[in-house]
Structure 1
């Protein structure tokens, strides 16, 4: 996930993408917030257009979606005659509004942007229309080209319920020039112990430079996303398969102590308030030598105006007990089950997530703005590969290695790599992150933070035990 903002206060993006990873989703609290939100935002974006060839699309205001909005009329509408009424809102607002409309099956919106966190939950609740048959019938869409991990994460009980618009995993980024000057070698597949050693050696490599940047900002999609991947690979889990909370288990404790100690000793200043954006700025400005985070960050680091373009190396997410540990996040298109325009909705999705749209963005706006991370063919496109040669293959490798159903060393009760795929996780993850951010800031101990967090997790587990 490019980072995710705190949801109950989020893919990176787990989960923003382009800077936002794992995010807030359908939670009971969201429903309470939606009534007021609906009144406040009912005029946003023009959700009108009830004609037979118009659809209403509710989506997050990330840059890729803004590009899509600009390109739709002159391309999709021109070729199909289907007018698209967009409602575009900030992430927290759009999640609340989607939850309100889809949970009530009000049918105001035909299509909405959801993530791989929400998709199985919404599908289980009967809020989404299955897309398997439409995708199979639309041979031009080429469903087989969608990365398997993406398809798996957007499915429920063997049915596909959303199509990815763009996706991300996570990897380790480091300053190649700084490592060379210090005589340091980055392993092709680093372990976390190796990363900690390199962070210590890179500390002070340049004036004011710290060894590594890791998110410490509270939020289930901020700090919790990278931390959970460390927990997974060090043998821990939030819950056992039979719903026993594990936040004070030896493995979870070891991973959390490791993460907190590393960022306290060799991490960025102000780590307790540093999220995706702050770490991105720190790496660009030469304040840190390494950064573990969303693959979507690479586009900014390699942009023509980036001071570190060409200086960054990319290697897989560090591991310990697992073969891989990168997360998986996608912004995807879901169709409301109550929509009476599902055929037109599919035509829009097929266009927006299709190969032709990627080529359109590449030729019209530049290949660095292509909504990548979802199709195998993107990474064999010569134009895209040329524009993203520094990070395209490491990104694809990370995406192909992601396994949301089996990210650790033991069976899980719910899918998810950097999150637990249950509605309660938005609130639970955020509260736990607040405890652990305080530990990073030195206001409490890791032991105390995990003890308090365990009690919160046990309350959630009690709801599922015996099911």
Structure 2
């Protein structure tokens, strides 16, 4: 009897000596459950569909994944949320766009209590490892509504071979873009000099760094719409002028799909487009060898470089009946281990630690262009902003108004008139 007691005492001592989290957290805690995911068509989603079997093997939780193109995705999500459906557990969200609206509508489950619960959260989760701008876009008061799944922002891509052939120097300041475009057009009229987003709602994403780098802001010092401010007007005018004078036919109907296609096919020499499209661009023959990639050049006089830095996130529906199982998926999908695998699909990790991982370093060292892309991502993560519209919760509407101002300038309106008109419309949203 004493032997058994002694053995029991030893066993209890060993268990009590283990780290508390090792005792409490268990990947198999929700084994046998099934969760439903709805995702936007995105490189992350495509890669996740191939990896999700690993999640089931690790946790015993089964998944059902639906992937829709963005317009269909948003329509379907709205229908399910407005109906308070319990069928949906996990969904993607661009919190920098719709976060405030979804939060007011009560569509997000609060992740903060789950993060704080040692029984529900893996010991090495480390929430602060995610980029600050994306974390901030997903935080409302004390509520955390989503976890980042990627980091992205517009980058400046240029054809180094064409610049060399035409003896045009690499743009070092944002003011160099117009002279470079003029020189490229004069050198080779068969190739477009410039392409960027012209579709109304898509414009602000690519426009914002032009405004910021030239010393402008979407808001006045007292928080009112500020497109008419002199430096902001400079950014609007430069962006619109590049599209008007050097952009492709039909530019006002273009978003990332057309811009990427033009660059990939070798039909344009410069673009300002999402870092998230890097993998798609690299699939075109020759682009891995001839492209330069960096953050949009800073203002020559201002010395400002303030790009957009955002990221898609994954959230748990507030109406889900399987929140613990859904939370396990969020942790797994955003873990350092999975992010290291997603890098090879061209999905930029939102965790700072992933940029120092051996897998990441091995991948970027294979092709110099990858290293340039990675360095640019590190820079936008450090210096970027998640704000690319005037102050309002009605973000999609604000971005449409800003994009309309750019379109009007391209079509011949005086920049000051288009900006004033936009400011008046934006003021009604506040």
Q: Give the Å deviation of 1:213.
A: 1.8
Q: Deviation per CA, 1:207-258: give whole Å up to 9, x if none.
A: 4123322222222xx1222223322333333333644232333333332222
Equivalent residue, structure 1, for 2:275: 295
Contact 1:310 1:390 in 2 (8 A): no
Q: Give the Å deviation of 1:120.
A: 4.3
Q: Deviation per CA, 1:65-100: give whole Å up to 9, x if none.
A: 13312332x311122111112232221222233334
Label 1:235 to 1:105 Cα distance change in 2 as closer, same or farther (>3 A).
farther
Counting only pairs closer than 5 Å after superposition, residues 36-47 of structure 1 correspond to structure 2 as none
2:297 to 307, 318, 327: 318
Q: Give the Å deviation of 1:432.
A: 4.0
Q: Deviation per CA, 1:352-388: give whole Å up to 9, x if none.
A: 11222234456xxxx1x15323122332223332353
TM-score (norm 1): 0.75
Label 1:85 to 1:152 Cα distance change in 2 as closer, same or farther (>3 A).
same
State whether structure 2 residue 70 is matched by structure 1 residue 70.
no
Contact 2:225 2:391 in 1 (8 A): no
**Partner Cα distance (1:389, 1:65) in 2:** 24
Equivalent residue, structure 2, for 1:200: 182
Q: Deviation per CA, 1:89-129: give whole Å up to 9, x if none.
A: 22122223333444564433221100132234433554322
Contact 1:302 1:308 in 2 (8 A): yes
**Partner Cα distance (2:174, 2:330) in 1:** 40
Label 1:419 to 1:266 Cα distance change in 2 as closer, same or farther (>3 A).
same
State whether structure 2 residue 237 is matched by structure 1 residue 257.
yes
Name the structure with the higher helix share: 2
State whether structure 2 residue 361 is matched by structure 1 residue 379.
no
Q: Deviation per CA, 1:20-53: give whole Å up to 9, x if none.
A: xxxxxxxxxxxxxxxxxxxxxxxxxxxxxxx971
Q: Give the Å deviation of 1:311.
A: 0.8
**Partner Cα distance (1:249, 1:343) in 2:** 49
Contact 1:145 1:376 in 2 (8 A): yes
**Partner Cα distance (1:243, 1:145) in 2:** 31
State whether structure 2 residue 151 is matched by structure 1 residue 171.
no
Label 1:213 to 1:360 Cα distance change in 2 as closer, same or farther (>3 A).
closer
Label 1:272 to 1:162 Cα distance change in 2 as closer, same or farther (>3 A).
same
**Partner Cα distance (1:428, 1:123) in 2:** 18
Q: Which residues of structure 2 form unaligned runs of 5+?
A: 1-30
Equivalent residue, structure 2, for 1:108: 87
State whether structure 2 residue 317 is matched by structure 1 residue 336.
yes
Contact 1:121 1:422 in 2 (8 A): no
State whether structure 2 residue 78 is matched by structure 1 residue 99.
yes
Q: Give the Å deviation of 1:177.
A: 1.5
**Partner Cα distance (1:121, 1:178) in 2:** 45
Q: Which residues of structure 1 form unaligned runs of 5+?
A: 1-50, 405-415, 462-467
**Partner Cα distance (2:415, 2:349) in 1:** 35
Equivalent residue, structure 2, for 1:353: 334
